[in-house]
C-alpha cells in the first residue's frame, strides 16, 4: 500500500504538480504512563512507515482522532475506572484531538486537516461538549501557529460503523432506520452556530 501510494503520488504530480495529494490515517493520542520514550515506541508500532511516507510523499496529512491510548511498560492500559466511556467503547477524551495535532505537526511537519473527530453517544449534550472541547483544542493549535486547515465532524448522519453496525450513533443528524427520516440533533444546530460565527 505504501509503494502504491508513492507511485500514485509521483504519477499525479507528473501530470498536475500543483495538485495537493495527501494521506489520512487513524491517529489517536498516544500517551505514556511510564517512560516518555514509550510514546515513540508505540507510535512506531501503530503507524509503521506511514509517518515517513507522509513526510516524503504527501503535501498534507489528515488526522482521524477520537480518543487517547495510554501505554506503560506492559502495554496499553485500560481507561481509568472513573472514565466516561462512549458507546463505541472508548474513553470520552476530546482533548486527544489537540494533542494529536501537535504530534503530527512535530512528526510530519505538513499542513494538517482534521478529517474525522466525533463521539458516539445517545446524550446529545455530551456530543456538544465534545465538539466544543475539540474545537477549542484546534483553536489553541492555530494560536500556536500550527497549520490546521479543516475540522470535519464524524459524522453528519448516524451511519453504519464497520465493527458496530448501526448501534453507535455518531451523527449530528439522527436517522430512523425504518422510515429513513432524518432529524437534526441540537448538536447539529450548535455546530452550525459555531461555524457561522467562525468560533474555532
- 2-196 fold: TIM Barrel (3.20.20)
Main-chain dihedrals φ then ψ at residue 134, nearest 5 degrees: -65, -45
Write the pLDDT tens digit of every residue in 78-96: 999 999 999 999 999 999 9
**Cα 55 to Cα 28, 104, 162, distances in angstroms:** 19, 10, 29
Write the pLDDT tens digit of every residue in 132-183: 999 999 999 999 999 999 999 999 999 998 888 898 999 999 999 999 999 9
Contacts of 107 (CB under 8 A, 6+ apart): 43, 51
Going by C-alpha positions, the residue among 199, 30, 177, 28 that lies closest to residue 128 is 199
Domain positions in the chain are 2-196
pTM of the full predicted structure? 0.96
As a whole number, mean pLDDT of residues 123-138 equals 98
Amino acid at each position: 500500500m505504501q509503494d502504491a501510494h508513492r507511485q500514485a503520488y509521483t504519477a499525479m504530480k507528473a501530470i498536475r504538480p500543483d495538485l495537493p495529494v495527501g494521506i489520512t490515517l487513524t491517529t489517536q493520542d498516544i500517551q505514556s504512563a511510564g517512560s516518555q520514550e514509550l510514546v515513540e515506541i508505540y507510535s512506531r508500532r501503530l503507524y509503521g512507515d506511514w509517518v515517513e511516507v507522509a513526510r516524503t510523499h504527501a503535501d498534507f496529512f489528515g488526522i482521524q482522532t477520537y480518543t487517547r491510548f495510554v501505554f506503560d511498560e506492559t502495554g496499553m492500559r485500560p481507561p481509568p475506572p472513573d472514565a466516561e466511556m462512549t458507546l463505541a467503547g472508548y474513553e470520552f477524551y476530546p482533548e486527544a484531538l489537540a494533542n494529536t495535532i501537535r504530534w503530527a505537526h512535530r512528526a510530519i511537519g505538513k499542513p494538517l486537516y482534521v478529517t474525522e473527530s466525533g463521539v458516539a453517544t445517545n446524550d446529545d449534550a455530551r456530543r456538544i461538549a465534545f465538539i466544543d472541547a475539540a474545537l477549542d483544542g484546534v483553536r489553541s493549535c492555530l494560536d500556536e501557529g500550527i497549520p490546521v486547515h479543516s475540522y470535519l465532524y464524524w459524522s453528519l448522519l448516524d451511519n453504519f460503523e464497520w465493527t458496530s453496525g448501526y448501534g453507535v450513533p455518531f451523527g449530528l443528524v439522527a436517522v430512523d432506520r425504518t422510515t429513513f427520516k432524518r432529524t437534526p440533533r441540537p448538536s447539529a444546530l450548535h455546530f452550525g452556530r459555531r461555524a457561522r460565527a467562525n468560533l474555532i
